[in-house]
Structures are given as structure tokens and as C-alpha cells.
Structure 1
Amino acid sequence: MQVNCIAPDKDLGRALCIITGASKGFGRTIAKEISLLLKPRSVLVLAARSCDKLRELQADLTSSDVGKAGLVTRCVVADLATQEGVESVVRAAKEFSIEDMDHLILFNNSGSLGDVSCYTQSFTNMAEVDSYLSFNVSSALCLTARLLQAFPRQHGLRRCVVNVSSLCALQPFPSWVLYCTGKAAREMMFRVLAEEEPDVRVLNYAPGPLDTDMQVVARGSTADPEIRMSFLSMHSQGQLLTCEESCAKLMKVLLEDGYPSGAHLDFYDL
């Protein structure tokens, strides 16, 4: 697949970027790709539950050309399903001055597939459902709210919130009730934010079917045979997207900045 090229003279300015779920998959790729579009002395706050994988990413970024040119990275090992996890990310971001920054960007990428091995009528345990929604919905809302409070509107500062969405936010997938519910809730959450805060640029980006660990689980565990076979077919026919392919389109959208705030943009529509 041909990936859209980004003009080398375009950038996102000097920015403070917060990326959740940064240790692997799409979040890791976001960190690498956006680092190429930032001016020196920009900051990446990388949040995830895996300390080792975060340190590996930090080492990669630090040793790269952008790292040598002055990119600052800060790793935060956090469980975003808890209030303390959310607050630890906010504290790390607040360590850096926003005074001479051009851009504040939050990537709400962290999320989980949930149990796809059964159907809706099996979910009778409220604690299980609450735990899923806490990590996949509540944390995104609370982290976004806390960061917008910590870095309020100021002249010359662009504030942008990106929600990594999914086709599942719009369409029901049998046996994926937790995932579809979480993605739909997050989608509406950020559409409301766009209405309430017109100075904040809000984007719901659906990256398409990515070749990640989550896809491996989906192919092996999905209860619905039609959904499971569709993923198996995409995998066998080489139709899954690489994180780099999808992220290239996301970066292009952010650079061009022509989308309506709150919009849902899918990889295949761009």
C-alpha cells in the first residue's frame, strides 16, 4: 500500500505531547512518527503499564536524530484504570513549562479489547464490566479533563485531543460488546468536548485493522464465527495494515488541520 508522503518542511511546532498506551503497537508508532514532526525542545510524555517497553522506546527516541536534536522524553508507568494512574500522567506533564510551546497534543490511545469469547448475555458480573469501562472510558475522560485544566487556553497555544477510535464506535460487532460500547462512549465523549470547547481541536481517528497483538487475540478468541473468519481472512490475505501505514495518514491529518473538530475520520476514507 502506498503511504501518503508528508512534505519535509511541515511540522507541528514546539509541542508537549502526551501519548497513552505508548509502549507498543499504534501508540509506540505515534511516538516515533510524531517525533519527526516536532521542533527542538519538544516534549513527549509516554504513558503505559510496561516499564521495560517504555524504556526501550525512550532509548530508541533518544538515540535517533530527533533525540540528538533536543527532543525530551518522559516515561510514566501508570495504570490508567486508577485515579492515581491518571494523576501521575498529569504530574509528569506539568513538570514542563507550556509558556513557549506552540502545541499541546494528547493522544488517547490506551485501550483494551476485553473479553470477546462470549456474547452480551454472558456479562452478568458488574465488577468485570466496571473494570473494563474504567480503563477504556473513564480514564480517557478524566485524563483529558485534568490536562485541559492544567493547561488552559492561552494566546498562541494550539490544544489538540486525539481519540484513537474504531469502526466499532459506529457499527456493532457480535461478541464484541465491551469493545464496541467503550469505543462508542469515547467517540461521543469527544464529540461533546468539541462542542463545549471550540478552541480545542478534537479528532476521532479510526486507524483501521492493524497488525498488532490485539489482532492476534481477535483472530483466536472471537466467539462470533463470521467476525472471527473475517479477521482470519484479512490476515491470511495480507490485508491488515501496519501501524506505520495508518499513522502516516494520522500525521498528515494533523499537519493539514482541515478536519471539522469532533469529526470521525477512518483510515479508508482518507
Structure 2
Amino acid sequence: MTPRMNITPVHTCIVVGASSGFGQIIAQAYVTEFFQTRPDHALFLVLVGRQADALAVTATQCHSRVPVSPTTPGGQLAVECVSGLHLDDLDNLDPHLDRLFAVAKHAIDFFPRDSNSAVPLQLDSCTMINNAGTLGDISLKVAQYEWKAMRDFLDINLVSYTACCTRFLRHITRERYPTQRTLVNISSLLAVQTFPYWGFYATAKAARDSLTKVIAQEEDAAYTKTLNYAPGPLDTSMQKIIRETMGDAQQRELYTDMHQQGNLVPMEQSARKLAQLVLSKQFESGSHIDYFDE
């Protein structure tokens, strides 16, 4: 009887918007949680953003999170950076996405040939976490909007997001990644609860949530899972912009007090909760889960 050959499963995780801020922390936290729960597996991490130098920094930080030697069975991490991806340039979005998913298609090629050579690698599952997005103008009421500004905002925050989702569903298939594919939208409380002056941001977040829920209804839940994750009020550079430009005095005071009293959510804490949630798979496809939910 021929002995069964051991195979190291390779999981791919694509983080869109990984060059700075919360996206950068998500990538690091995902590596940490992945190897804590799957120490004998391999992870191919695809970091997506505009600036090559910033993505390289994220890649170095992610490599430092691997708890075992990459030459031992399992515990392997390969990182590929896809820079120059401008989601606001819709005329050139298709070739950018072609390049991104070509990388995901050849995931195993990015592992060192002399690493774990006795145990073959096999693609297993794929997750895409889309953190890319902008804040919009929160100094204005809807009555003050110029429609062209809203169009430009939605091109970046909704149209390009839709394109990413569509390409993910087309290119990440059961034939290549047989176990599961997971699509994560970084959402917000603003997607489900509205506040004044948040017309730009809330419109995009609510639409993204709805699209992700539609995908959950259209696809086989045994293979495709989608998640809308609201990370809480994070201590980021975006929070500084909110405190400085928010048109509503009451909200501006609220966010200022949260910052001064240390009540903003640490990015690492929220990112680790997201990673744990995704890796556990213990969520209903299409659901909206907030950092503060039990």
C-alpha cells in the first residue's frame, strides 16, 4: 500500500489598503492569529496599496510575526506586494486588478523552493480583506454637496470596491482554492446608523454592506462567506481629520473627548478580533459584526 503523502495547505490572504493605518495592522494581526491557529500550514499574504516603500515596511513587519522557522514543516509565510494600485483611476482599474489576481493565481510560486521541499504545497482557501477607502467631506450637509464630488467619492469607495469583489469571485474559484473563499468588507457603524454630516461616508458604507449581503445570498454558503466588520472608532489619522473638520460641533466635541480620554479603540486590538473572527469562520455569511458585539 502506498503511504499517504503529507501536504501543506496554503492559504492566501489579500489585504487591500495595506500600506498604512488599519490595513497595515490588519495584515500583521492576521499573520499572528493565522500561525497561532494553523502552525503547520502556510500563508501567502498579498499586500495591496499605492506606495511600494510603505508596502515593503508592512511586509517586513508581517515577517516578524511568524513564530517558527520558515524551514520547518508548515509555518511558512510568503509575502508579495502589489503596489501602484490606484482605485480612483477607473479607466485603468482592469489591468491593475488583472495584475493583482495573477499574483493570487500563482501563490505557490512565491514560496522558496528549498523550503519544506519534502512536503508539497497545495492551495486551500483564500480571503480578501478590503480596507481601502476615503472619508469624504464631513464639513458639509447634503444640501451643500456638489454632485461631481459625490461621483468621485463613490468611484473610489463603491465602484472600485464592486470591481474588486467581482474579480475575487471570478478568479478565486473552487477549482483553484477548494476549501473556502472569504470576502471581508471593512464597514462602519455608519453603515447601519446615520448621523448628520456623514452623507458621503455613510452612503458608501451602507452600499458596500448591501452588496456584500447580496453576494452572500447569491453564492453557496458552504464555499463562499462574506463579512461586514465595523472596527469601532479607531485611533488613526482619520480620527484626527474627523476632530479637525467635522461640521457638527457636538460630534466634534464627542470625538475630541474620546481621543483625550483614551477611549478610542486600539488598532491592534480591533484587527486581532477581526482576524480571529475570520479564521474561526464562526459567523453567518453576509452579517454585519461590530467590534463591540459579543
In structure 2, give the amino acid aligned to 1:73: V
Residue in 1 aligned with 2:66? 65
Name the TM-score, length of structure 2 as normaliser.
0.82
* Number of residue pairs the alignment of both structures matches: 257
Residue 96 in structure 1 maps to residue 97 in structure 2: no
2:171 to 150, 175, 179: 150
Of 96-105 and 24-33, the range deviating more from structure 2: 96-105
Contact 1:62 1:68 in 2 (8 A): no
Deviations 1:204-250 (A, max 9, x none): 11000000011110111011112211111111111101111111211
| C-alpha distance in 2 between matches for 1:133 and 1:87 | 22
| C-alpha distance in 1 between matches for 2:62 and 2:68 | 5
Identity of aligned residues (%): 34
Alpha-carbon offset, residue 95 of structure 1: 3.0
Residue in 2 aligned with 1:80? 87
Alpha-carbon offset, residue 16 of structure 1: 0.7
1:1-270 matches, within 5 Å, as: 14-36=10-32, 37-38=34-35, 40-65=41-66, 69=70, 70-77=76-83, 78-81=85-88, 82=90, 83=93, 84-97=95-108, 100-126=122-148, 128-154=149-175, 156-198=178-220, 199-270=223-294
Residue in 2 aligned with 1:10? none
SS of residue in 2 equivalent to 1:211: coil
| C-alpha distance in 2 between matches for 1:95 and 1:225 | 51
TM-aligned CA distance change 1:75 to 1:68, over 3 Å = farther
TM-aligned CA distance change 1:87 to 1:67, over 3 Å = farther
| C-alpha distance in 1 between matches for 2:240 and 2:281 | 33
SS of residue in 1 equivalent to 2:227: strand
SS of residue in 2 equivalent to 1:171: coil
TM-aligned CA distance change 1:257 to 1:65, over 3 Å = closer
| C-alpha distance in 1 between matches for 2:192 and 2:233 | 15
| C-alpha distance in 2 between matches for 1:14 and 1:109 | 23
Alpha-carbon offset, residue 61 of structure 1: 2.5
Query: Aligned Cα RMSD in Å?
Result: 2.0
| C-alpha distance in 2 between matches for 1:256 and 1:45 | 20
Deviations 1:103-147 (A, max 9, x none): 200001111101111111121242x22221111111111111112
SS of residue in 2 equivalent to 1:102: strand
Deviations 1:45-93 (A, max 9, x none): 1011122211111122335535952311111111122314333322332
SS of residue in 1 equivalent to 2:292: helix
Deviations 1:140-176 (A, max 9, x none): 1111111221121247421101111000001112111
Task: Tell me which stretches of 4 or more aligned residues in structure 1 moved more than 4 Å.
Answer: none
| C-alpha distance in 2 between matches for 1:66 and 1:232 | 38
Structure 2: unaligned runs, 5 residues or longer: 1-8, 71-75, 110-120
| C-alpha distance in 2 between matches for 1:133 and 1:66 | 40
Structure of larger gyration radius: 2
Structure 1: unaligned runs, 5 residues or longer: 1-12
SS of residue in 2 equivalent to 1:19: strand
Name the TM-score, length of structure 1 as normaliser.
0.88
| C-alpha distance in 1 between matches for 2:57 and 2:225 | 31
